[in-house]
Structure 1
């Protein structure tokens, strides 16, 4: 019979042996960039270079901004997220090659192969190669100038509803400034715009006292601590298990809720024969018909119901996050910088006067200072902190001897580029003049990437900007935007979100202008 002491010796020996094996394994992994002759910061065991992010010591934006400046002075640098090696690109010329010139070598985004719903895996952002290219080409017609112009009156209805909401609450407040949390307020407005323009659904989020629809959608990326921790463990230490574990970066309750909303809208149109000139109709017109015996073209171009629902859900949540964030931080900066707010209001009112008070397409095109204000907001407060691409073919980095192997991830630190004083002097100052035609022409084009660039840029970019601009016009011609007692300046980044969020929200007040 084996004694307890002998068993303990075996156990301790096994632990020591496994520890040595794991140590040697990670030491070999963390020598990857050094062997390639690429500058990198010494990684930490298990975490790589991502410890501050994994332990929520820094927000996503702060983390990637700090990484950029640690690597500043190098055209590119090696980086580790857990076991995964990626190349951080700092040189705008290399960024141009990756995103545009040599895009055929970087067609895919970095994605985790999680075992999750088709409503997630079939989203455009998760598709790769020819499958992505086909879906992108099918969705693009929804965002042409002609299609967007047909939505102007629908957006204006939502804008008028937003103005009415503020007027009513200012009146109830005794005509004193009415205080609101901006992300919540603009999230509801944005949902109304998207639901109306893209799906023909009236969500009435601003006037819904229960806040049901908007409240649910706003939680699309809210995960429990257990699920969040499980995702990080898999990403960092056990990526091979990802395809077997039923986890997602999205809150699946929200995804299924939105899927049902889309299905109901689809079912209503199919049963009534109603057709609309919108995003959902484009998808429905491409839907496969299982009863159609002539499958020649159907097999090539048709979409399945999961594909239709996936793109619709993506459009809802991506549009919600992007537009509401831009509106939130534009108002935040205008409340702080009152002289800029006054100048912008003067431009808006002057141009509207020339168009009999109507917010026409032509009037919007003349509002160049509004474009400059939004441009500077997106520089300082980009919705995402970094972009990722995957090398799909072996690639030699221009003007170097470095060959990236197929499957290697590259990161473009958007937030770092946007705060680099080499490109933007005094980067923490809000200065819309940086986006005058002259200033933009004098600056490298690829140091400003709030929506990405190239074939895989944000497909809904033009829709997001159009709805944001019209929203700002309606607000500024009717209301002044002011700081409130609950405004935090500067705001504190939320450390628990991949997206741009303020820890305590962005609280501002609206006051009715005397337009008589």
Structure 2
């Protein structure tokens, strides 16, 4: 018993000593930092599953600004992480000195899980080469060509809501974007609106890190990629990985064998493949991340917009009036061109992404030692960097009364006054979201059909103030959002 007691004491002492040593990192760098907690660092509520990571980082952002610091060192668990808070420092990281911060933290091993060899995970020249290859697939012209596919999904969305007195909009919007991305990325008719057990829907949801174990594995792999690879840690379940990989193989084989073509994303990649610069595995990985990055984020944009419109009926009526006025000039038909004329609509969506950025933070990795401008501090190669988007977007210095939903913040006049990094829902710089146009288009098409045809109000099940889900890395609501639905005459 005494030996066991001594072993426990020794283990606790060793762990305590390790963390005390690790938590001196930023002090030695002489970078201002907040006091961490052993063993959770500066994000104890996230580590305990009590707080969304984006929200906890936003709290840290506010504390750092209150101290008057332009940046700070923080610890996520035992991992030293650099957090810039002054907008000029953020601009240096994402744009001006991008060559020092050109990589993201990886989320898996492409050798054992080829789906991980996608644009978000690739580094250095591999990332640059892939970004160059993919850029033509995301031009305004290519996005416009996918409009008809999105419009077909919108028709199903409107039909689904037509006879409902109330609707849970989180699941509704996810079903819509699953259908859109499944169709645009893979050429599939997923029928998520009709089929609750659609394989694409089931495997697609499982591909996201929604469990504690999956998030821990992702965090471990991001900070110890070599060890994670050595231990053969999987961050995607094998059956999920195989489903998407086999799906891409089948679609490519079918189209090449039968000469079928379609105005969608995978067809663009098949055309690139003909030149020999993409493999089938490359295409599978890019379509996989196209789905991951597109379905959840756009669904959240739609969800939070409907939530705020239900709470702000004057804004909802003004938006509906604009939709109807513009469509009257287009024979009542929603088209790519008609959507471009709905300027207040853009303001509404921008304000939603300010208050609820779908991705509440982004990360980078310092790829070579970086001396801070006008300071002696050096950020070492390999150091993690985090940009607290949610904190910036809810900063009263940039957005007075930040909890208020006010689309007027994004009038043309007000946008001209903004710092370029005060509003970054899609990131900023060379590694900003390549699919931004398509993400906005699918959300706008879906919302246009809903707001044009239905009036939404808060259901009694839905609180007036909604928090973010601690179990999500996105800005997902902590609970269901039920809205009452009334058909517009």
TM-score in same-fold range (> 0.5): yes
State the alpha-carbon separation in 2 of the partners of residues 233 and 118 from structure 1: 16
Shift of residue 228, structure 1, vs aligned partner: 4.8
Residue 139 of structure 2: which of 136, 140, 144 is its match? 144
Is 1:26 matched up with 2:19?
A: yes
Shift of residue 104, structure 1, vs aligned partner: 1.2
Instruction: Answer whether contact 1:115 1:246 (CA < 8 A) is retained.
Output: no
Summarize the Cα distance change of 1:105–1:241 in structure 2 as closer, same or farther, 3 Å threshold. closer
State the alpha-carbon separation in 2 of the partners of residues 106 and 261 from structure 1: 34
Is 1:350 matched up with 2:337?
A: no
Residue correspondence of structure 1 range 408-427 to structure 2 within 5 A: 408-427=383-402
Residue 286 of structure 1: which of 272, 276, 294 is its match? 272
Give the secondary-structure state (helix, strand or coil) at the position aligned to 1:126: coil
Instruction: Answer whether contact 1:114 1:245 (CA < 8 A) is retained.
Output: no
Which string of whole-angstrom CA distances, capped at 9 and with x for unpartnered residues, describes residues 412-443 of structure 1? 11010011100010000100001111111112
State the alpha-carbon separation in 2 of the partners of residues 14 and 220 from structure 1: 40
Summarize the Cα distance change of 1:195–1:511 in structure 2 as closer, same or farther, 3 Å threshold. same
Aligned length: 487
Give the secondary-structure state (helix, strand or coil) at the position aligned to 1:482: strand
Instruction: Answer whether contact 1:99 1:106 (CA < 8 A) is retained.
Output: yes
Corresponding residue for residue 268 of structure 1? 254
Corresponding residue for residue 474 of structure 2? 499
Give the secondary-structure state (helix, strand or coil) at the position aligned to 1:510: strand
In structure 2, the gaps of 5 or more residues are: none
Shift of residue 199, structure 1, vs aligned partner: 2.6
Corresponding residue for residue 205 of structure 2? 218
Give the secondary-structure state (helix, strand or coil) at the position aligned to 2:359: coil
Give the secondary-structure state (helix, strand or coil) at the position aligned to 1:208: coil
Corresponding residue for residue 110 of structure 1? 105
Summarize the Cα distance change of 1:229–1:196 in structure 2 as closer, same or farther, 3 Å threshold. closer
Instruction: Answer whether contact 2:108 2:234 (CA < 8 A) is retained.
Output: no
Which string of whole-angstrom CA distances, capped at 9 and with x for unpartnered residues, describes residues 49-90 of structure 1? 222211112122321111111211210001012221111110
In structure 1, the gaps of 5 or more residues are: 171-176, 289-296
Instruction: Answer whether contact 1:187 1:214 (CA < 8 A) is retained.
Output: no
Residue 157 of structure 1: which of 152, 159, 163 is its match? 152
State the alpha-carbon separation in 1 of the partners of residues 209 and 34 from structure 2: 32
Shift of residue 400, structure 1, vs aligned partner: 2.0
Summarize the Cα distance change of 1:393–1:467 in structure 2 as closer, same or farther, 3 Å threshold. same
Which string of whole-angstrom CA distances, capped at 9 and with x for unpartnered residues, describes residues 464-512 of structure 1? 1111112222112211122112222212322111122222211113221
Which string of whole-angstrom CA distances, capped at 9 and with x for unpartnered residues, describes residues 449-478 of structure 1? 111011101111100111111222211221
State the alpha-carbon separation in 1 of the partners of residues 378 and 410 from structure 2: 36
State the alpha-carbon separation in 2 of the partners of residues 487 and 111 from structure 1: 37
Is 1:83 matched up with 2:93?
A: no
Residue 52 of structure 1: which of 27, 45, 48 is its match? 45
Residue 177 of structure 2: which of 171, 190, 214 is its match? 190
State the alpha-carbon separation in 2 of the partners of residues 234 and 459 from structure 1: 24
Shift of residue 240, structure 1, vs aligned partner: 6.1
Corresponding residue for residue 292 of structure 1? none
State the alpha-carbon separation in 1 of the partners of residues 221 and 455 from structure 2: 48
State the alpha-carbon separation in 1 of the partners of residues 483 and 397 from structure 2: 33
Shift of residue 262, structure 1, vs aligned partner: 2.4
Shift of residue 267, structure 1, vs aligned partner: 2.1
Shift of residue 234, structure 1, vs aligned partner: 7.2
State the alpha-carbon separation in 2 of the partners of residues 407 and 166 from structure 1: 49
Corresponding residue for residue 291 of structure 1? none
Instruction: Answer whether contact 1:221 1:251 (CA < 8 A) is retained.
Output: no
Shift of residue 197, structure 1, vs aligned partner: 2.6
Larger Rg: 1
Give the secondary-structure state (helix, strand or coil) at the position aligned to 1:446: coil
Corresponding residue for residue 92 of structure 2? 97
State the alpha-carbon separation in 2 of the partners of residues 140 and 231 from structure 1: 27
State the alpha-carbon separation in 2 of the partners of residues 362 and 405 from structure 1: 48
State the alpha-carbon separation in 2 of the partners of residues 350 and 424 from structure 1: 30
State the alpha-carbon separation in 2 of the partners of residues 232 and 147 from structure 1: 35
Shift of residue 198, structure 1, vs aligned partner: 3.0
